[in-house]
Structure 1
Amino acid sequence: MAADVETFESQRQRLTRLAYRMLGSVAEAEDVVQDAWLRWNRTDEEVRDPAGWLVRVTSRLCIDRLRSAKVQREAYRGPWLPEPLIEELSVDPVERAEDVSVAFLLALERLSPLERAVFLLHDVFDEDYASVAETLGRNEAAVRQLAARARTHVRDSRPRFTVSEAEAAKLAAAFMAAAAQGDMKALSAVLAEDAVLISDGGGKRSAALRPMSGREDIIRLLEGLAWRTGGAELWPISFRAVRINGYPGVIMEREDGPMTVAFQPGEDGKLAAIYLVRNPDKLGRLPLDQ
């Protein structure tokens, strides 16, 4: 049993990374990996390739969850965003930013569960097609077709970060400073013309019920918020800077609970997207203040 535990623990991080990309939820990813552990612990079969066996079980568990969650996702109130993947600025990133970016995870949401599994296993986790076919119980030709279809959908949504982390942090800081002062001119200056703002309240916290598309749309939203607060600060001055899904971001406390904001830098020295998560179901695992 000790050897089994050691083998499983050596694969836990990889399995969790796969499950998070599949499900868009840290909590669900950890639940799936725990279920994989229970199956690993109970199996009577001879496992000659433990890593492959665990990837196979984890992938199938994720596909089952995605299929059962389809109705809930379709009925979700307002835009859906993945649960924030938060890292401290003081540590080196665990993930490549483009592989966990919100834009990339949203692109994965448009794929079927099988397409998502094939794409992730082959294109992100470097499994060969034969292994992916065995994992998913499909023939190799079908797997290649699924991969090609998925690749077409996500090709333009997996950004390559050409902006340094320091430059991206400056953009985020400029936005936060302008928002704290309600300075619409400064806010407009830091946004790309085709920037988007997506807020996820899940019907449990106030949030825009559609994505804001374009600089003018975003500014109109912020102006409306400023008007409703009587010109007070749009957002609290007090916040904690972190890394969210590879982006510069902040955690802040509001009267009705915490919120995370992630800033996606564009290639023109301005912000391409802003992602706000307010749904408390996705914020129960925020790291404690340091």
Structure 2
Amino acid sequence: MSLTPILNKLSLTDLSPIQASFFNALFSTLILLITVLLDKSKIKIYHNKFIWLLGITNTIGILLQYVSLSLLDSVSVGLLGRFYIIFALFLSVLFLNETLCKNDTLPIIFAVIGSFLITHFSGDFNSILGVIATLSYTFFFALTNMLAKKTVKDIDSKTILLYNQATSTLLLGIILIVTNHLHTIHISIGLFSILLSALCSGVIGLLLFYEGLKYISFREANIIRTLNPIFVFIFSFPFFPLPLTPKFITGAILIIISIIYMNLYKDKKTSS
């Protein structure tokens, strides 16, 4: 899933955020349908309200993700996206009855300070809008995965993901038509980038994540997921090089320290 920000950023050279969002959901749905057909699995109809809410929150998250990438660089978006763990922690406390420990306070503070340092915040409208879009899509993805935790015990992971992406495809398709973005689409490298992104993140990455939720807590799964920024930076640098200023490096280090601290504390708590 670490490749996703780079691939999504590349797709925006040819496509608008709305177009890219639609094709991301569409390709993910088609890949999942092929997978289901190859497995000869039956697609069941469910009336669980959470499975439909998944599609709505996922739609908002996908669209805001591409908007943020159109305004900010992929590395900053990837690092700012680590607010995901903060949103996930609070959502797990509010809706899943998981506990927020005192030891979580320090890494959360580190993550907040680090996020402000790495954003290259300039104060202009695009910078402000980019930060808001990034934090918003991060929240909606955390909310989507929290809803998945509520449904994953009773419903197969592939089915959840298929409902999720199919609903997003329908909603984003309506937005695409209403905003008159349909007629400007043409075959380009952007479509290929989105296809790879959908395969790596929209299908394989989320399938593994939802499977993992069956065996570990929502909190543990999201702490592991926060290692993404390290790989995002490594993969992004050849395509979107950034000036490694002391401010940026300090912010990145604070975020990584917060991730390591959370993991070490969780391991210590588990072993005791």
For normalisation by structure 1, the TM-score amounts to 0.27
Give the helix-richer structure, 1 or 2: 2
Structure with a larger share of its residues in strand: 1
Q: Which has the higher contact order (CA 8 A, sep 6+)?
A: 2
TM-score (norm 2): 0.28
